Each structure stands twice: as structure tokens, then as C-alpha cells.
Amino acid sequence: MERENVTILDHPLIQHKISMLRDERTGTNEFRKLVEEIATLMGFEALRDLPLEDVEVKTPIETCMTPMIAGKKLAVVPILRAGLGMVNGILTLVPSAKVGHIGLCRNEETHEPEEYYCKLPHPIDQRTIVVVDPMLATGGSAIAAVDFIKARGGKNIKFMCIIAAPEGVERLMEAHPDIHLYVGHLDRCLNENAYIMPGLGDAGDRIFGTK
Ligand code: PRP
Ligand code: URA
């Protein structure tokens, strides 16, 4: 799967932490911490093209022009619920980022996403938008989330997921070839219930300790 705007982030630290996430013995507390840490590590790479502007700074030696992140231009948009687990990981890097929310839930029979909430920072069209969700399975939720953001004017969209299935990557990039997708690990395939194999199970349940 070679696509210019799909980046697989195969850093050893990310891979190690994903393996810990997969382990069924990893409890809620540790799982949450790992999701947040992985989001920070992935965000470091996904945000490498954030726009900079030169600002004047007076050092103890002299005044100089030196680059800083330009304006309050970033929006982090988690897909509820599981995406919430990644938000603080990105805010660690850019504390001034605004946060939007998109509520989607997969119908357990059809596996199609159903919307229940959408609130985005205004104006959305001038921001770099990082959509976060740990799992990209069939791609239905990701496609719907990007549809909502575009319908509200969002343009510069990055999508960050920790684990993806090849089917979901293909569907998402066919539907939205203009976005950039960052993946922690590309897994083998989906099972008959549209769960990622080997995956990590239900990300939302593991983050929030439900089921
Ligand atoms: C999970 C996951 C994604 C979606 C991926 O959420 O967090 O949003 O499934 O599946 P897809 O690519 O086939 O759409 P889920 O719908 O289980 O909701 P939850 O986060 O509230 O548990
Ligand atoms: N959602 C999850 O949380 N896990 C999967 O494997 C697929 C969808």
C-alpha cells in the first residue's frame, strides 16, 4: 500500500507501546496512558509541517527574529468516544490548540457509523485539523467524520489512528484523497464482525473500562 499521503509511523517507541496496548492483560489505567503517549509520539511527526512565523525575541545577548508556531491555528477533533483518549497527547505538544468533537457510533449490525454529536471550533476553515481515533477499521467512521468537517468548511485535514486495517485505509483515501493519514501500525485485515485483526479489541471499552 504505497500512497504519498499515507504515513506509517514505524518508530520503535510507537511499535513497542502499540504491542503493550494489544496485550489483553493491559488494564484500563495503563491502556489510557499508552494511548496518550502514542498520540504524542505520532503527533510529533504529524505536526512537522505546522506553519511558522518569525517573531522578534530579545535574548540576553541581542534581539533576533526567530520562528514560532504561527497563530492559534490547530484544531484537534476526536471521534467519540475512543478518540478522546488521544486528545491530551496532542495538547501536550500544542497546549493552545482548540478541540472539536464528533460523536459517531458504529451500528453493531450494519457496522455503519451513526452520528450523535458535532461541534467544531470556529472558524474551522483557517485551521489545520487533526482528527484522532485509535482505530480505523472499515473506514466508515473516519469517512463520515471528514465529511462533517468538510461540510462545515474544514480543508487542511490530517487523520491520526493508532491501528488501521488495509480495507479502511483504502476506503478512506478513496473517499478523501486530499487528507493526510498517519497510522501507527497497519494490521492484517478485518474479521467477520469488522474488528481489526490482530488489533486490540474495542478501543472505547478498553479506554473507559466499559463492556
Ligand atoms: C470505534 C473506533 C472508531 C470506529 C472504527 O468506535 O473508535 O471510531 O469504531 O470503525 P470503522 O472504521 O469500521 O468505522 P465505536 O463505533 O466502537 O464507538 P466508541 O468509540 O464509542 O466505542
Ligand atoms: N473499533 C474498535 O474499537 N476496534 C476494532 O477492531 C474495530 C472497530
Q: What is the pLDDT of residues 144-199, one digit of tens each?
A: 999 999 999 999 999 999 999 999 999 999 999 999 999 999 999 999 999 999 99
Nearest CA to ligand 1 atom 22: 204
Residue-level pLDDT at 77? 98
Q: In the structure, what pLDDT confidence band is assigned to residue 1 with cuts at 50, 70 and 90?
A: low
pLDDT digits (tens, 9 = 90+) for 101-150: 999 988 888 988 889 999 999 999 989 999 999 999 999 999 999 999 99
Answer yes or no: are the C-beta atoms of 206 and 33 closer than 8 Å.
Answer: no
Ligand 2 contact, 165 CB (< 6 A): no
DSSP annotation of 24: T
pLDDT at 3 over 90: no
pLDDT at 211 over 70: yes
Residue-level pLDDT at 141? 95
Residue-level pLDDT at 159? 98
Ligand 2 contact, 208 CB (< 6 A): no
How deeply is 121 buried, as exposed, middle or buried, from its count of CB atoms within 10 A (0-12, 13-18, 19+)? middle
Answer yes or no: are the C-beta atoms of 14 and 38 closer than 8 Å.
Answer: yes
CA–centroid distance, residue 208 to ligand 2 (Å): 14
Q: Please give the Cα distance from 56 to 155 (Å, whole number).
A: 30
CA–centroid distance, residue 137 to ligand 1 (Å): 8
CATH code for the domain defined by 6-46+75-208: 3.40.50.2020
Q: In the structure, what pLDDT confidence band is assigned to residue 71 with cuts at 50, 70 and 90?
A: low
Per domain, the residue ranges of the chain are 6-46+75-208
pLDDT at 72 over 90: no
Task: Identify the CA nearest to 119 among candidates 89, 91, 98.
Answer: 98
Least confidently predicted of 18-22, 50-54, 165-169, 198-202: 50-54
Q: Ligand 1 site: residues with CB under 6 angstroms?
A: 79-82, 104-106, 111, 113, 133-142, 168, 194, 202-204
Residue type, 60: P
Grid cell listed for 32: 489510557
Ligand nearest to the CA of 203: 2
Active site residues: 106, 110, 202, 205
